[in-house]
Amino acid sequence: MALDLKRKLARLAPPPGAAAAARAAEVESTAEGPDPTLEGPTTPDPGAERCVAPDPDGEARDERLARIARLRALIAPLEGRPVPPGGGGAPAGEPRTTVLGVDPDARRDDAPAPPLPGETVETEHGPLHRVVQRLPSDHRHGPVLVGRALDVPAAALAALALDPALEGFDVQRMLLLDTETTGLAGGTGTLPFLVGMAWFEDGRLCVEQLLLRRPGQERPMLARLAERLDAASAVVTYNGKSFDWPLLRTRAVMNRVRLPAPAAHLDLLHCARRVFGRRLGRVRLVQVEREVLGMHRHDDVDGADIPEIYWTFVRSGATAAMGRVLEHNAHDLVALAGLVAVLAERWQDVLPGHDAEDRLGIAEVALRHGDLTRASRFAEAAADGAASGDVATAALLVASAAARGRSEDHEVVRLLRAALARAAAHERAAIHLRLAKHLEHRARDPIAALAHATETAEAEGDEACARRTARLERKRARRSPR
C-alpha cells in the first residue's frame, strides 16, 4: 500500500536529538568507507519503501539525500520557510531535471510533487525562469535522427513551403519556435506563458524554454527571445505564421520590447498539410509526429488542458503538472527538427515504402513550384503504388499537367486516357473535358476531340457542351475530303 506524505517524512526524519549523531556518523563513514563487518545479504522489511543498498561510491546516500531535499522543498512553502538552495535534488545553478526524461516514478499518485524544472536567473529586464538542455548529436525522436535536419538543403524547404524567401537561408542557424498560451483566441487577452526555442550548436540541439511564472513579467522572456531571433537565419514553427508569431509580436509591442522580424519564416503546418493532408486528414503536430515520424508520446498532457494547468500553477504553485507542460513543449520543439529532416528527405527522391498519398502530395507541390520533372516522377510513382482509384486518377492528372508544361502532347493524351480508365463515374466528365480541350487546341485533332466533347455536359453544362460540340463538328467537316 502506498505511504502517505506524513509517513514518508516520519520514515526519513531522524529521531529527536539524533541529528548531530547522524551527521557525525555520516562523516565518519565517508572517511573510513563501509563497515567491513556488514557482510552478506540482509532481509528486507516487507512494509518498507524500496531503497538502494549503500555502495562505496555513495550513490545510495546521494539518492537518499536528494529525496529528503525534495520533500523539504515540498513542505517548506506550507510552513512559510524558504525553499532550500537548488530546490532539492540538484546543485544550485544547474537545471534540476531534463524535460525529455522525466522519471516515471515521479508521476505516481503517492509521489511527492517534483520541483519546477530549470532555474530563475536575474537579467537586466527582471527575473527569467529558464529550462535549458542540450541533446546529444545522436538523439532520436522516435526512429528519426534529429541531427539530419542539419543536412537539409534550404532549396528543398523553400520548395515545400512555396516561399522563395527561404531559398538561401542558413539551415545551421534556424530557430525552432513553439509557444504554450492561455488560449487559442489570440489578441491582447492571450498570454504566451511558455516560449520554447531550439537551435543547433556543434551538431547538438539546444532546447531553451522560457516560463512566465507570473503575468506581468513578460519583458525578460521577450528580451531573451529577441536575442535568439537576432542570431537566427529563419524561424521554424508549426502554425506560427497564423498564431505564435502574431501573438508574440503583439505582446512585444505591449511590453515595449523590440522583437526583430525573422528574415524568413518556415511554417511546417502548411508543408505537412500539402504532403500528408490527403492521407491523414487532420495534421495536428502530435498526429504528424505519430504517423510520419513514428514517435509515440507516453502520458502526454492534452493541449486543451494546458491553459488551466498554467492558471493552477500561478494560483497555487503546483509544479507537477507544469513539468508535464514543459515536457510537452520540448517534444514539440524536437518534433519540428525531425519534421524538417523527414520532409526534405521525402522531397529529394521517391523512396520505397512511402504512401502513394504522400507521393501525390509532393507531386502537387512540385507542380506548383514549377519543378515539372519532379512532379512527373512522384505522380507516376503515386499512380503505380495507389491502392485506390481516386489516388491513381489524381496522380495521373498531375502527371499530365506536368507533361503539358513540358509540351509533351502525346504524353498528355496518354496520361489523361489512363486517368479516364481509373476514374470514378463522377470524375469522368471533367477528364473528358481536359481531353477535348487538349486535342482541339494543342494536338489540333478535332475528330479525336469531338469524341470526348460529347461527354462534357456534366462538367461544363449543357449549353457550353453544345457549343463545343458544334464547333468541333464544323472543324471536322472542313477537314473531311469532298
Retrieve residue 53's grid coordinates: 543498498
Q: Per-residue pLDDT for 397 more than 50?
A: yes
Residue whose C-alpha is closest to residue 195's, from 174, 213, 176, 209: 209
Interval 258-286 mean pLDDT = 95
Q: Name the band, by pLDDT with cuts 50, 70 and 90, for residue 472.
A: very high
Interval 451-465 mean pLDDT = 96
Q: Name the band, by pLDDT with cuts 50, 70 and 90, for residue 353.
A: confident
Per residue in 261-271, pLDDT (tens digit) is 999 999 999 99
DSSP three-state, residue 338? helix
pLDDT for 115 equals 86
Strand-pairing partners, residue 265, are 235
pLDDT for 217 equals 92
d(CA 440, CA 475): 9
Surface-to-core class of residue 248, CB atoms within 10 Å of its CB (0-12 exposed, 13-18 middle, 19+ buried): buried
DSSP states along 135-152: E-TT-EETTEEGGGGGG-
Surface-to-core class of residue 135, CB atoms within 10 Å of its CB (0-12 exposed, 13-18 middle, 19+ buried): buried
Q: Name the band, by pLDDT with cuts 50, 70 and 90, for residue 299.
A: confident
pLDDT for 414 equals 97
pLDDT for 482 equals 55
Superfamily of domain 119-348 in the CATH hierarchy: Ribonuclease H-like superfamily/Ribonuclease H (3.30.420.10)
Please give the class, per CATH, of domain 356-479.
Answer: mainly alpha
Specify the DSSP element, H or E, that contains 137.
none
Retrieve residue 195's grid coordinates: 516560449
| Residue 259, C-beta contacts closer than 8 angstroms, at least 6 positions apart | 222, 225, 226, 229, 248, 249, 252
Q: Per-residue pLDDT for 41 more than 70?
A: no
Per residue in 188-198, pLDDT (tens digit) is 678 999 999 99
DSSP 8-state assignment for residue 113: P
Interval 347-371 mean pLDDT = 95
Q: Name the band, by pLDDT with cuts 50, 70 and 90, for residue 435.
A: very high
At which residue does the C-alpha cell 469532298 appear? Answer: 482
Higher pLDDT, 126 or 80: 126
pLDDT for 189 equals 75
Per residue in 305-329, pLDDT (tens digit) is 999 999 999 999 888 899 999 999 9
Q: Give yes or no for a contact between 160 and 256, defined as CB atoms under 8 angstroms apart.
A: no
CA 43, 46, 51, 55: dihedral to nearest 10 degrees?
0
Interval 122-128 mean pLDDT = 94
Interval 139-162 mean pLDDT = 96
DSSP three-state, residue 207? strand
Interval 196-212 mean pLDDT = 97
Per residue in 226-235, pLDDT (tens digit) is 999 999 999 9
Mean pLDDT, the chain, as a whole number? Answer: 82
Interval 142-166 mean pLDDT = 96
Interval 438-442 mean pLDDT = 95
Residue whose C-alpha is closest to residue 362's, from 376, 218, 352, 38: 376
Residues of the chain above pLDDT 70, percent? 75
Lowest mean per-residue pLDDT among 22-36, 53-67, 141-155, 451-465 = 22-36
pLDDT for 28 equals 38
Retrieve residue 273's grid coordinates: 498539410
pLDDT for 101 equals 55
d(CA 254, CA 261): 16
Per residue in 47-75, pLDDT (tens digit) is 333 333 334 444 455 555 556 655 555 55
Single-letter code of the amino acid located at 467: R
Lowest mean per-residue pLDDT among 109-113, 359-363, 417-421 = 109-113
Q: Per-residue pLDDT for 15 more than 90?
A: no
Domain boundaries, the chain: 60-87, 119-348, 356-479
Q: Name the band, by pLDDT with cuts 50, 70 and 90, for residue 107.
A: low
DSSP 8-state assignment for residue 108: S
d(CA 256, CA 298): 40
Q: Give yes or no for a contact between 405 and 372, defined as CB atoms under 8 angstroms apart.
A: yes
pTM above threshold 0.85: no
